[in-house]
Amino acid sequence: MSPSTRNKNAILFCLQLLTKNPTKRLGCGANGERDVKDHAFFRRINWQKVEAREVQPPYIPKIVSTVTVLLLLLSAQTVLGLRPIHTARQGQR
């Protein structure tokens, strides 16, 4: 994929996520997160390996606080439809 195609796919992906009408927004239709995962922007992603945590991230963000970690985990679960991540605290309930 050329840089210009990648750029166009990234722009299209963002625009589709930001569509005002929720019935037309990417990921809000009958197929849910499947439409997001199948988007051309993610063409090279092997979702089974991602979900099994077998993929090394290309970038590891600097952790500033535990809030950063929690927000990252919550957004990953929500956006990518990953299995919930249980903490020790949740197991004590």
The reported pTM is 0.58
Q: How far apart are alpha carbons 89 and 93 in whole angstroms?
A: 7
Which amino acid does the sequence have at 12? L
pLDDT tens for each residue of 17-34: 999 998 999 999 999 999
Q: Within 10 Å of residue 40's Cβ, how many Cβ atoms?
A: 13
13 versus 77: the higher-pLDDT residue is: 13
